[in-house]
């Protein structure tokens, strides 16, 4: 039985699940209807097929099996009762059994901006034996797990692209309004997955029904398209970060969410298909951060990285609170969102000739002269309504006679920032108002698309417009249509919605890893979307949207470029190259800030803003080994039995250290450094190893340290000498408090330079302890 082939195994599974026994009772069908889908994760793909088969045979009702996982890891998703799920948790070979979660989507001039920000100059003609060159083109394949793709978009034309790489083993699935001819030499693969839920199949196709996947795919690898714009705004050439890369789309999401069982199946398929990079602009909300062994993305990414695939994920949109970052496993490249130097400006002109800068996308048809009466929402309140509800223009709070024909000033409707502008705009419009001026900092940062004359001004400009209204006998104003502003400063800045580090349970690693443009990004869109167009014209071919969903594919595009130049580099080497060459300054030459103006930290942006070409020649890289990841699992409290079930790459003789602590996580060979529980006079030491990838010949790197006054930081040795390429050298960093009481969190950096390359690693030191 141990030598049973997988084909025979699948046949037996089919017999188990596809044949309906004559004695199936009606009660079983009723039980099926109320059971949920559970994921049964059994770790490494080379684990026992016998245990797998036995578990499947233990469930013998019809319509139970949803997915099987067989390429990168072993397991299945099935409709089970909680009793059956609990029984499976006790079975040998099972790592975890958990309910099928629904994850959420984390919803081009940006590339030109990134290029302009990059100070690193790449050799025009690197030597043929340099690790940053390749004697033959390497067609990188980017796998994208999202809502599908709109193949007719010009961003996915394959003009000038060569034959599909022979190593590609994937497929182009046929579905509703999608045939094999919708794939080409750009879109080389397309799959879709259904959850088999009781509400039935909603969209049986790889075709994008939401727009999100199309936008993400074109950002990462879209072909260059001239004269692209959103109804004339953000005009220019739209292109992806790696326009020569191939795209493989795995539709795992609808607009309302993504099934964990489908995500795992897409990971499993993509490993077998032969992708080089996986890009996931989705994840759990921060308040539902799952355990590692119940996290479909962490599980799938672990096995993908084992197979040499770099996995890039969005950090989440739950900022600006700290401790909100998700997709934070160390084998994932986690991406925060930042602004670019493009602004969408829609100004308010007052009757006193003052112009107040507003933002947002609207195509106002109002007169350009200020002739429309201007009032505050609270001035039009109904007798039965509260002043606060009218101030924020709540539904049924204002009198129609007072609003009709006027521009209404509404204030932020969400405590702490943010606004339900759709409801506010609709309320004013329904009462006959001609326009809305919203006072709200958060909504001002993201260019919302307004279907009526509406703009957003900052809270600091709010008093000026309110003063004008209150001091004028007949205040008037107008709202101008949006104009595109280029070279906006300061940029980049970390946007308010981008999730922040750290994970409170793991203070010994810095997450997110990197930041990239995620605000007001122009990219390809559906060809039939007229639901939200601000003009009564044909649907836009390109759309402007924001989120860490948009920052993630920017990094995926750079990963693909690095991979194309360095096809033998591991995922951790590629990640290191991107992180250690990141940028920490804005286009004013000042330290990067948050959108509030305060200086950003590694908990906001990781190593910094991504550089488009610095990662092609990083000089040194930190390669994170399998043992590092195993020690991370030990430090998270997993025992050796569980770890050996997860992976077959456990080195001989490896065991979790006795009394494993999170200090072992600090010693992962990661490009950033985080130390926790540094108290009193105690010192803590971490070790790092770097590999020389800067070319052949001798070179010497010298260290410089930027440390806060609260901590003494000593690096031993202070110089690293390399005699050849691919040589490794190690160093120690000793952290010692200089004060009896350390601040909760202090930041600094360690930088190695040899005159040509600059290899920077930020660090954080805290007196805090990780939460259990």
Q: Which segments of 506-632 are extended strands (E)?
A: 514-517, 521-524, 542-545, 593-594, 620-621
Radius of gyration for the alpha carbons in the chain, expressed in angstroms and rounded: 28
Q: Return the structure tokens found at 165.
A: 């790489």
Q: Which segments of 256-405 are extended strands (E)?
A: 257-259, 277-280, 282-283, 310-314, 333-338, 342-345, 348-350, 355-356, 372-376
Q: Return the structure tokens found at 586.
A: 């804005």
Handedness of CA 333, 337, 341, 342 (dihedral sign): positive
**Residues in Cβ contact with 609 at an 8 Å cutoff, skipping those fewer than 6 apart:** 114, 117, 338, 492, 514, 515, 516, 582, 583, 584, 592
Contact 606, 591 (CB under 8 A): no
- Tally of CA atoms within 13 A in the half-sphere of 200 that contains its CB: 1
Which of 397, 549, 666, 676 is an active site residue? 549
Which whole-number Å values give the CA distances from 648 to 33, 114, 133, in the listed order? Answer: 37, 40, 33
Q: Return the structure tokens found at 688.
A: 């790092």
Please state, in angstroms and rounded to a whole number, the distance separating the CA atoms of residues 661 and 649: 22
Q: Return the structure tokens found at 563.
A: 């991979």
- % helix, strand, coil for the chain, step of 5: 25, 25, 50
Contact 310, 143 (CB under 8 A): no
Nearest to 573 by CA among 310, 197, 224, 222: 310
- Tally of CA atoms within 13 A in the half-sphere of 723 that contains its CB: 0
Q: Return the structure tokens found at 69.
A: 């996982």
**Residues in Cβ contact with 253 at an 8 Å cutoff, skipping those fewer than 6 apart:** 105, 145, 146, 147, 210, 212, 213, 262, 282
- Beta strands at 310-314 and 333-338: parallel, antiparallel or unpaired: parallel
Contact 680, 742 (CB under 8 A): no
Please state, in angstroms and rounded to a whole number, the distance separating the CA atoms of residues 550 and 219: 8
The distance in angstroms from the start CA to the end CA of the chain is 42
Please state, in angstroms and rounded to a whole number, the distance separating the CA atoms of residues 136 and 555: 23
Please state, in angstroms and rounded to a whole number, the distance separating the CA atoms of residues 484 and 520: 11
**Residues in Cβ contact with 729 at an 8 Å cutoff, skipping those fewer than 6 apart:** 689, 690, 692, 720, 721, 722
Please state, in angstroms and rounded to a whole number, the distance separating the CA atoms of residues 434 and 457: 17
Q: Return the structure tokens found at 749.
A: 């950096």
Query: In 10 A of CB 88, how many CB atoms?
Result: 19
The question of whether 212 is a catalytic residue gets the answer: yes
Please state, in angstroms and rounded to a whole number, the distance separating the CA atoms of residues 591 and 192: 43
Please state, in angstroms and rounded to a whole number, the distance separating the CA atoms of residues 512 and 644: 28
Contact 245, 563 (CB under 8 A): no
Which of 100, 146, 341, 442 is an active site residue? 146
Which of 67, 106, 109, 212 is an active site residue? 212
Please state, in angstroms and rounded to a whole number, the distance separating the CA atoms of residues 662 and 655: 16
Buried b (16+ CB within 10 A) or exposed e, 350-383: bbeeeebebbbbbbbebeeebebbbbbbbbbbee
- Beta strands at 257-259 and 102-105: parallel, antiparallel or unpaired: antiparallel
| Burial of residue 199 (number of CB atoms within 10 Å: 0-12, 13-18, 19+) | exposed
User: Catalytic residue positions?
Assistant: 146, 212, 549
């Amino acid at each position: 039985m141990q030598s049973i082939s997988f084909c025979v195994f699948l046949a037996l599974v089919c017999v188990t699940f596809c044949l309906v026994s004559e004695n199936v009772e009606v009660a079983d069908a009723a039980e099926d209807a109320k059971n949920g889908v559970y994921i049964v994760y059994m770790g490494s793909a080379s684990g026992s097929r016998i245990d797998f088969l036995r578990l499947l045979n233990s469930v013998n009702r019809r319509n139970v099996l949803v997915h099987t996982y067989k390429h990168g890891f072993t397991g299945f998703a099935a409709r089970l009762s909680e009793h059956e799920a609990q029984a499976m948790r006790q079975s040998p070979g099972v790592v975890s059994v958990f309910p099928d979660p629904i994850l959420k989507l984390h919803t081009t001039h940006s590339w030109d901006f990134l290029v302009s920000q990059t100070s690193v100059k790449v050799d025009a003609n690197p030597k043929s034996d340099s690790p940053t060159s390749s004697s033959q083109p390497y067609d990188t394949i980017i796998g994208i797990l999202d809502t599908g793709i709109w193949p007719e978009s010009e961003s996915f034309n394959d003009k000038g692209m060569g034959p599909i790489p022979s190593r590609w083993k994937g497929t182009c699935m046929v579905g509703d309004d999608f045939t094999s001819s919708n794939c080409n030499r750009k879109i080389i693969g397309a799959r879709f997955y259904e959850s088999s839920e009781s509400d039935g199949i909603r969209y049986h196709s790889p075709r994008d029904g939401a727009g999100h996947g199309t936008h993400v795919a074109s950002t990462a690898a879209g072909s260059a398209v001239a004269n692209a714009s959103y109804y004339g705004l953000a005009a220019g050439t739209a292109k992806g970060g790696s326009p020569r890369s191939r795209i493989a789309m795995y539709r795992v999401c609808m607009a309302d969410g993504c099934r964990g069982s489908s995500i795992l199946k897409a990971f499993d398929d993509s490993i077998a298909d032969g992708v080089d990079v996986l890009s996931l602009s989705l994840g759990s909300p921060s308040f539902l951060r799952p355990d590692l062994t119940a996290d479909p993305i962490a599980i799938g990414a672990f096995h993908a990285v084992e197979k040499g695939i770099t996995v890039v994920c969005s950090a989440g949109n739950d900022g600006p609170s700290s401790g909100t970052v998700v997709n934070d496993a160390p084998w994932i490249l986690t991406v925060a969102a930042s602004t670019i130097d493009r602004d969408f400006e829609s100004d308010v002109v007052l009757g006193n000739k003052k112009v107040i800068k507003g933002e947002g996308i609207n195509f106002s048809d109002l007169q350009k002269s200020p002739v429309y009466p201007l009032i505050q929402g609270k001035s039009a309140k109904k007798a039965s309504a509260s002043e606060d509800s009218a101030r924020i223009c709540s539904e049924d709070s204002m009198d129609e006679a007072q609003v009709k024909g006027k521009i209404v000033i509404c204030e932020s409707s969400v405590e702490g920032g943010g606004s339900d502008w759709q409801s506010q705009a609709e309320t004013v419009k329904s009462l006959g108002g001609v326009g809305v001026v919203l006072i709200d900092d958060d909504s001002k940062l993201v260019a919302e698309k307004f279907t009526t004359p509406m703009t957003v001004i900052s809270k600091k400009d709010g008093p000026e417009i309110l003063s004008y209204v209150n001091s004028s006998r007949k205040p008037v104003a107008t709202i101008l249509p949006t104009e595109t502003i280029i070279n906006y400063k300061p940029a980049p800045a970390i946007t308010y919605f981008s999730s922040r580090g750290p994970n409170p349970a793991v203070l010994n690693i810095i997450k997110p890893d990197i930041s990239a443009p995620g605000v007001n990004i122009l990219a390809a869109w559906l060809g039939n979307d007229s639901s939200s167009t601000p003009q009564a014209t044909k649907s836009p071919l390109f759309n402007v949207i924001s989120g860490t969903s948009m920052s993630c594919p920017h990094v995926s595009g750079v990963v693909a470029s690095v991979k194309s130049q360095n096809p033998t580099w591991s995922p951790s080497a590629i990640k290191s190259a991107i992180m250690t060459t990141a940028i920490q300054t804005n286009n004013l030459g000042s330290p990067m800030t948050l959108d509030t103006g305060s200086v950003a930290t590694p908990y906001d942006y990781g190593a910094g803003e991504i550089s488009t070409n610095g990662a092609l020649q990083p000089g040194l890289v930190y390669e994170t080994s399998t043992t590092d990841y195993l020690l991370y699992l030990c430090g998270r409290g997993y025992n050796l039995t569980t770890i050996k079930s997860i992976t077959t790459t456990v080195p001989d003789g490896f065991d979790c250290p006795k009394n494993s602590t999170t200090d072992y996580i600090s010693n992962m060979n990661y490009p950033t450094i985080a130390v926790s529980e540094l108290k009193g006079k105690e010192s803590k030491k971490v070790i790092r190893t770097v590999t020389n990838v800067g070319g052949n010949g001798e070179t010497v790197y010298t260290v410089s340290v930027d440390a806060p006054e609260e901590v003494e930081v000593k690096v031993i040795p202070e110089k690293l000498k390399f005699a050849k390429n691919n040589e490794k050298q190690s160093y120690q960093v000793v952290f010692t408090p200089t004060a009896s009481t350390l601040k909760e969190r202090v930041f600094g950096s360690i930088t190695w330079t040899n005159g040509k390359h600059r290899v920077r690693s930020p660090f954080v030191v805290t007196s805090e302890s990780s939460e259990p």
